[in-house]
Each structure stands twice: as C-alpha cells, then as structure tokens.
C-alpha cells in the first residue's frame, strides 16, 4: 500500500458562532505555512462556512460541511443542498456521522444517496462508519462496519473511489477519551479497505481511510504508523487552533 500524505479533518460539530470561527481561522492561518505535509480540512457549522471559506481561500486549508441533503433543490424546508455547500466555498462534506445516525435518524439509505450526490456535485464526501460498544462487545464490529461500507459505497464507479474518504469512528471512542488501540483501529480500517476492494478492486488503494474517536496530538503518530489509516477525523482536538496545528504537525512528521 502506498503511504500517502495524511489527511486530517476537523469536525467542529455544533460549536462556534461566526466570530469564534473567524478568530480560530486567523490564528490557524498564521500557523498554516508550518503545516506542510498533510491535507487539512475543517468541517464547520453551516452558518460560518462562507466566512471560513473566504478566509482560507488560496490556502491549502479546505472547508467542509457536516451534513447535506440528498436532493439538489426543492420543497425541503430547512435542508441544505450540496450546491449550496459548494456555493459557500466548500470542497468537502461529512456524511453519516454517528451522531446523525443515532440522534437524527440518518440511515444507510440516506448515507448512500448523499454520498452519490456529493460526488456528482464535486464535493469530497467523508463517509462515517463505526460500531456501538454493544456491537463491539458482541464481537460484531467487523461485519457491522463491512455492511455499512457496502451499503454506502457499493455500485459506485471505481474511478470515484479516489475522491471518497471513509472515516471509521467507533462510537464508544467518540468524545470519551477512550481511543481505540492502534491495532484495533487498523484492524477495522483494513476491513473497510478490503470491503471496498470487493466491489471496486484496486481502486480501494486510492480511497482515504481515516480513524476518528478521541484523536489527539499524542496518539496521532501511532495511529498513522499502521498500514491502512491515512489520517484522522478529529472532534474536540480541532476546536483550538494551536492544539489542532500541533496534531497536524505530528501527523505530517509521522508520515
């Protein structure tokens, strides 16, 4: 497997009003020249996407949304279409985060539709998969994640797989400080890649696979030292510019 530049994506979740986002962006932008060696994205709330995209224009920092709707326009009150996300200056979108699956009724079918539409619209989908603690303790993490990956991605043109990112985020490791061991994370990320290879062949080698769940500056290098983890989807540790920058520096150094 070719080891590529790590891809580190921040997921701010429902944090930061625009003023706070801009304060982060100014501080982070000043640090960005030191952050060569990794691809970087910040996935922020809808309300500050345009302002963030403007400040990060002409920098290597990509801006992404955390969700999108599965139609391009129409009578869907309150929803945001992928075209609107592109219009705000974004190039990426998180799809199927476990918080949306668990709290907001996201299903494998909506994840599948959103992923296709994101690709069609030119957005880089970051498709999230991962098991609950109960599923892990029942010894069913691998088949659970395999099924989620198949439902989200099977049938896509293999040529699109290089534009797809899959984030493996075990639900029990999110926001808990309980990070999966690098070996456990690698095991499931290898399942993700093997599953993609099952329907897309060699193109699976082009897909970025991230780990997410309590990733911090001091555990990123170990995670990236495994064979199938190409980067991280980072929640809490992406909220402070200096902390996120340090995590990226260590990721670039580990690659």
Give catalytic residue positions: 97, 169
Q: How far apart are the C-alpha atoms of 6 and 249, rounded to whole Å?
A: 11
Both tokens of 33, joined, read 């020249």
Cβ distance to ligand 13P smaller for residue 92 or 203: 92
Residue 100: CB minimum distance to ligand 13P, A:
10
Closest distance between ligand 13P and the C-beta of residue 39, in Å? Answer: 16
The whole-angstrom separation of Cα 123 and Cα 118 is 5
User: Least distance to ligand 13P from the beta carbon of 17, Å?
Assistant: 19
> Given the complex with ligand 13P, which of 192 and 200 has the nearer CB atom?
192
Nearer to ligand 13P, 82 or 96 (CB): 96
CA atoms within 13 A on the CB side of 53: 19
Smallest distance from ligand 13P to CB 122, Å: 22
Q: Which of 232, 223, 228 is nearest to 254 (CA)?
A: 223
CB of 212 to ligand 13P, least distance (A): 4
For ligand 13P, which is the closer residue by CB, 7 or 200? 7
Strand partners, 167: 128, 210
Which among 104, 85, 78 is positioned nearest to 43, based on CA atoms?
85
Q: Which residues bind ligand 13P (CB under 6 A)?
A: 11, 97, 169, 174-175, 212-215, 233-237
Q: CB 96 → ligand 13P: shortest distance, Å?
A: 11
Contact 232, 9 (CB under 8 A): yes
Q: How far apart are CA 144 and CA 147, in angstroms?
A: 5
Nearer CB in complex with ligand 13P: 41/119: 41
The structure tokens listed for 235 are 């929640």
Please provide the DSSP assignment of 165-223 as one string: EEEE--GGGTTSS-PPPHHHHHHHHHHHHHHHHHHHGGGGGGSEEEEESS--HHHHHHH
Nearest to 59 by CA among 96, 77, 34: 34
Which residues touch 33 (CB under 8 Å, ≥6 apart)?
none
């Amino acid at each position: 497997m070719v080891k590529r530049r790590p891809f580190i994506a921040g997921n701010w979740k429902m944090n930061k009003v625009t003023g706070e986002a801009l304060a982060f962006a100014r501080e982070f932008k000043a640090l960005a020249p030191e952050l060569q060696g990794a691809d970087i994205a910040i996935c922020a709330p809808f309300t500050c996407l345009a302002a963030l995209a403007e400040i990060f224009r002409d920098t290597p920092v990509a801006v992404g949304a955390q969700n999108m709707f599965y139609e391009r326009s129409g009578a869907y009150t309150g929803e945001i279409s992928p075209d609107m996300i592109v219009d705000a200056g974004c190039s990426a979108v998180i799809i199927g985060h476990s918080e949306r699956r668990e709290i907001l009724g996201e299903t494998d079918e909506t994840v599948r539709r959103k992923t296709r539409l994101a690709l069609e619209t030119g957005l880089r989908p970051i498709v999230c998969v991962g098991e609950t603690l109960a599923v892990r303790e029942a010894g069913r993490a691998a088949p659970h994640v395999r099924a989620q990956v198949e439902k989200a991605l099977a049938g896509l043109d293999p040529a699109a797989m290089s534009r797809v990112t899959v984030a493996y985020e075990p639900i029990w490791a999110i926001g808990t400080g309980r990070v999966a061991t690098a070996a456990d994370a690698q095991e499931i990320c290898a399942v993700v890649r093997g599953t993609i290879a099952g329907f897309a062949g060699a193109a699976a080698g082009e897909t970025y696979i991230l780990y997410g769940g309590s990733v911090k500056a001091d555990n990123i290098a170990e995670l990236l030292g495994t064979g199938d983890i190409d980067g991280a989807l980072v929640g809490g540790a992406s909220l402070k510019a200096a902390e996120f920058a340090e995590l990226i520096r260590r990721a670039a150094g580990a690659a």
